[in-house]
Structure formats: C-alpha cells, structure tokens
Amino acid sequence: MKKKYLILLLPLIFTGCFGKAGSGILTSECKRTVQTASIEEVDRYIFEYVNGNITKIKITKSYNQDVDLEASMKAYNTFNGVNASISGREITYDFDLDIVSDEVKDIFDIKDTYNEQIKTLKNLDYICND
C-alpha cells in the first residue's frame, strides 16, 4: 500500500523539487511586434527572478528582412555586462546584472524587480505571460 502512494507521488516530486522551479527560480516572457514601413521587429524579453528580484535577463530582437545588426552588436559589446550575438536576422543581448551599468539598464528598459519589469514592459505595449 505504501509503495502505491510512493509511485503516485513520484511525478509530483520530480516535477516540483528539481530544476529551476524547484529551486525558486521563475521565468517570465514579454513580447511585442513593431511594424515600421516594411520592417517588422519582434522584441522578446525573457527573464528569471527569485523572490521578485530579477537575476537574469535576455533580450532578443528578430527582423523579417535584413538589417544591419553588426553595428548594434559591436556598440553594445563594448559595455561591461553585455554580451550581444547575432544569428541570421536576430540579435540577442545577454546581461550580467551584477555588473551592467544603470545607463545600459535605461537603454534596454531593464528593471531590478519582477513587478517593475512587467509594469514597464506593459506600458511599452508588450504582452507578458505573467
């Protein structure tokens, strides 16, 4: 009888106690599409947070046609705490929030807490999975 309950509880144990969610790390995503002339830009913020404090953030900008991403990548890679990379028509910015400057946070609308981040992005017409 005890084995039966243990077997029934195993999926709950393995899905809730291991991995990021089990360690208290939660993930949220916000996305918006901006159309300018013939260029469509899709911006996506993916951030991890613990106890309401953002610990990691990645911003991806995708385009429906070729745009000059090299200049943007070179410009932002000069800032401490920013790693920009290009893949096709997409540029991704990864931020080390321990060392990134307030100037960079302002440029990319990065906030320190989950509530501030969601509020800021929603005010900029992002749709968030909060």
**CATH code, domain carrying 79:** 3.30.70
Whether 114 is in a domain gets the answer yes
> Which pLDDT tens digit goes with each residue over 42-54?
999 999 999 999 9
Residue range of the domain that includes 106: 24-128
Structural domains counted in the chain:
1
pLDDT digits (tens, 9 = 90+) for 78-129: 889 999 999 999 999 999 999 999 999 999 999 999 999 999 999 999 999 9
Residue 4 lies in a domain: no
Which of 77, 72, 32, 25 shows the shortest CA–CA distance to 52?
25
Q: Say if 11 falls within a structural domain.
A: no
Q: Which contacts of 32-37 are long-range, i.e. CB under 8 A and separated by 24 or more positions?
A: 32/121, 32/124, 32/125, 32/126, 32/127
Distance of CA 30 to CAs 2, 23, 113, 124, Å?
44, 22, 14, 10
Name the nearest CA neighbour of 99 among 120, 115, 80: 80
Q: Quick check: is 1 in a domain?
A: no
User: Is residue 17 situated within a structural domain?
Assistant: no
Tell me, yes or no, whether 7 lies in a domain. Answer: no
Per the DSSP assignment, residues forming a β-bridge with 27 are 48
